[in-house]
């Protein structure tokens, strides 16, 4: 990762890359959706570290520093136990490692629900400490006033409706939502409220496909599906699920790699080389006369 900063004389700002790179912006993401249709789907993945952000940034439009890091990074049983300190630390790392994508930081449970004012204090801290472009929070109609409060004060917001992991205790699990007509109507109303409150985008998670399709056509916000519908304006997956880092994944995850298997194989090769004393070899040592080297 580069640590050399150059000065952009046009803006008097330092950039940690050889040439200044202009990030995508929230308005640019919003403009993807015109007349209820998004011609170019939004590509989004989670990221939690600077190095992973570097690798994902060239191909993603948005990077989500999700509170899923509680489970993926810290081994917690739910996202409920994630703290604002965790989100700020990982969010700042992802911003440092990316130069193009819109970086969005999850607001953890307990950091925004009490009041719009409390949400603003938490969101302002996140924006200041990370340099991210937006925050994400869960909830529908109940959170609409908070979303409007944040947006009016210059904080772009991504909503989250359907299966909301922070409410897992109230929901009773991670099952798909919107199976009954009443629940589907409630989720659709939540999505409209979030969009009308000013959220520029929203994650629709774990709902019946026709419901996600209908919501996408009804709201002006850009919809990002996860276990929703290919008709959504974009898609997101938890990176470690997509890479095959875990044995069990939700039904809606497609594994694009078996990284866990490849890591295990590499670790086995390393262990074997250590035990047979073939690592380190002469080429990996200092002060050793190599067989193919010429005397000085």
- Active-site residue, 205 included: yes
The arithmetic mean of pLDDT across residues 135-160, rounded, is 97
Given pLDDT bands bounded at 50, 70 and 90, which one contains residue 251? Answer: confident
Annotated binding site for 3-methyl-2-oxobutanoate: 67-68, 106, 136
pLDDT at 157: 98
**Which among 207, 242, 214, 203 is positioned nearest to 228, based on CA atoms?**
207
The mean pLDDT value for 85-89 works out to: 98
What's this model's pTM, rounded to 2 decimal places? 0.88
Q: Rounded to the nearest 5°, which phi and psi values hold at 8?
A: -85, 105
Q: Does residue 174 have a pLDDT over 70?
A: no
Q: How confident is the model at residue 293 (pLDDT cuts 50, 70, 90)?
A: low
Using DSSP's 3-state secondary structure scheme, residue 103 falls into: strand
Domain ranges of the chain: 20-262
The pLDDT, as a whole number, for residue 10 is 57
Mean pLDDT of 99-114: 96
Res 7 pLDDT > 80: no
Tell me which of 76-80, 163-167, 244-248 is least confident: 163-167
d(CA 142, CA 117): 15
196-243 per-position pLDDT tens digit: 999 999 999 999 999 999 999 999 999 999 999 999 999 999 999 999
Catalytic pick from 141, 205, 247, 268? 205
d(C-alpha 271, C-alpha 267), whole Å: 6
> Distances from the Cα of 230 to the Cαs of 42, 191, 223, 250, in angstroms?
11, 17, 11, 17
For position 195, what pLDDT does the model report?
A: 98
Q: Indicate the pairing of strand 134-136 with strand 102-106.
A: parallel
Q: What is the pLDDT of residue 150?
A: 98
Q: Residue 160 has which token pair?
A: 């989250």
User: Do you find a cis peptide bond into 57, omega within 30 degrees of 0?
Assistant: no
Provide the pLDDT for residue 2: 46
Average pLDDT over the chain reads 90
Q: Which residues are part of a known binding site? A: 67-68, 106, 136, 138
Class of domain 20-262: alpha beta
């Amino acid at each position: 990762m580069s640590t050399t900063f150059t000065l952009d004389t046009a803006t008097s700002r330092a950039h940690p890359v050889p040439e200044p790179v202009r990030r995508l912006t929230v308005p640019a993401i919003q403009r993807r959706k015109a007349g209820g249709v998004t011609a170019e789907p939004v590509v989004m993945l989670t990221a939690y570290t600077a190095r992973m952000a570097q690798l994902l940034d060239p191909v993603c439009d948005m990077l989500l520093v999700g509170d899923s890091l509680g489970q993926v990074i810290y081994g917690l049983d739910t996202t409920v136990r994630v703290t604002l300190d965790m989100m700020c630390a990982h969010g700042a790392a992802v911003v440092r490692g990316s130069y193009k994508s819109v970086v969005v930081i999850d607001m953890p449970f307990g950091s925004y629900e009490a009041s719009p004012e409390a949400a603003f204090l938490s969101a302002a801290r996140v924006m200041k400490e990370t340099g991210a472009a937006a925050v994400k929070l869960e909830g529908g109609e109940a959170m609409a006033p908070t979303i409007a409060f944040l947006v009016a004060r210059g904080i772009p917001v991504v909503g989250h409706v359907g299966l909301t992991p922070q409410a897992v205790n109230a929901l009773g699990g991670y099952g798909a939502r919107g199976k009954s007509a009443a629940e589907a109507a409630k989720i659709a109303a939540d999505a409209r409220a979030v969009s009308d409150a000013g959220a520029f985008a929203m994650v629709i998670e774990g709902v019946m496909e026709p419901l996600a399709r209908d919501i996408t056509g009804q709201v002006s916000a850009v919809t990002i599906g996860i276990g929703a519908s290919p008709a959504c304006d974009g898609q997101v997956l938890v990176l470690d699920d997509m890479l095959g880092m875990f044995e069990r994944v939700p039904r809606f995850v497609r594994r694009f790699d078996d990284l866990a298997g490849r890591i295990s194989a590499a670790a086995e090769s390393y262990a074997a080389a250590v035990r047979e004393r073939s690592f380190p070899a002469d080429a990996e040592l200092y002060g050793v006369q190599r067989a193919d080297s010429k005397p000085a």
